[in-house]
């Protein structure tokens, strides 16, 4: 079974530039998550989708971050404009259903973003 795919793996940009990350979840998984992992910290949830609807975006900095999952499959996370403090690894995860006790989230390899 193919895992969660993410691209690019690495990205270096200058502050105030824009950047986009792409994620393709495991086939058949209804729920998709984007996490931000700053160096030395645990991942922090940015946004959760159930199919193509947003379930939780309470920790997404909406003035500069946006995400979509238009067809309920793959997803794009965008940052515009980027700040130095956005340097982190952006992780995408998916789960079969969401809302189920013990439902496992499967993570992709992440995109490491460096903002100069």
The site for another protein (CB under 8 A) is made up of: 4, 31, 33, 35, 40-45, 48, 55-56, 91, 93, 95, 98-99, 101-110
Contact 51, 105 (CB under 8 A): no
Cis before 8 (ω within 30) = yes
Q: 72 or 81: whose CB is closer to another protein?
A: 72
The candidate with the shortest Cα–Cα distance to 83, out of 5, 1, 9, 19, is 19
Q: 81 or 107: whose CB is closer to another protein?
A: 107
Q: Which two tokens stand for residue 17?
A: 């530039």
- Residue partners of 62: CB distance under 8 A and separation at least 6: none
CB of 4 vs another protein, minimal distance in Å? 8
Q: 19 or 35: whose CB is closer to another protein?
A: 35
CB of 22 vs another protein, minimal distance in Å? 15
SS3 state at 57: coil
CB of 21 vs another protein, minimal distance in Å? 14
CB of 13 vs another protein, minimal distance in Å? 22
């Amino acid at each position: 079974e193919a895992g969660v795919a993410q691209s690019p793996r690495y990205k270096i940009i200058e502050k105030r530039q824009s950047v986009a990350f792409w994620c393709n979840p495991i086939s058949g998984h209804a729920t998709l998550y984007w996490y931000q992992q700053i160096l030395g910290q645990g991942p922090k949830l940015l946004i959760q989708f159930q199919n193509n609807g947003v379930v939780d975006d309470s920790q997404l900095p909406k003035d500069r971050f946006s995400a979509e999952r238009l067809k309920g499959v793959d997803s794009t996370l965008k940052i515009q404009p980027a700040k130095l403090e956005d340097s982190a690894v952006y992780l995408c995860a998916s789960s079969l259903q969401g809302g189920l006790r013990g439902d496992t989230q499967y993570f992709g390899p992440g995109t490491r973003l460096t903002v100069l």
